[in-house]
Amino acid sequence: MNWLLVVLGAAVGAPLRYLTDRAVQSRHDSVFPWGTFTVNAVGCLALGLVTGAVAAGAASSKVQLLLGTGLCGALTTYSTFSYETLRLVQGGAGRYALVNVLGSVLTGLAAVYAGAGLAGVLWG
């Protein structure tokens, strides 16, 4: 039955990713993929929070499957990040591509760390 929790989380995460990406990107007149950058950062923060809550005993492994694996797994997107970075390079926006790679990795790490830290404060 664990697979059903992952499916339910993903059923919310995937449309949320698409809608958030479109909403954020429509507000920026730039080739930089702000929508994907945003959903990946938010997903990392949420995953850190969920994982920290599970580690502190404040949430169950079922919550980890529903929200961590399902929702965050579908909300975040490595494939779109990779494709958009390639598209930037091919379009002659190499600096934007480099900013996307470095910014995404550093922001993702900072966000997951912040989420886990927040969980420690809330439930540690």
Task: Determine the Cα–Cα distance for residues 10 and 70; give it in Å rounded to an integer.
Answer: 4
The pTM (predicted TM-score) of the whole model is 0.95
Task: Determine the Cα–Cα distance for residues 112 and 124; give it in Å rounded to an integer.
Answer: 16
Which stretches of the chain are DSSP H helices? Answer: 2-25, 34-55, 61-63, 73-75, 78-90, 94-123
Q: What is the pLDDT of residue 31?
A: 96
The rounded mean pLDDT for the chain is 97
pLDDT (tens digit per residue) in 3-29:
999 999 999 999 999 999 999 999 999
Residue 38, domain extent: 2-123
pLDDT band at 124 (very low <50, low <70, confident <90, very high): confident
- Total structural domains within the chain: 1
46: exposed, middle or buried (C-beta count within 10 Å: 0-12, 13-18, 19+)?
A: buried
In the chain, the amino acid numbered 42 is V
Residue that the structure tokens 């507000």 belong to:
27
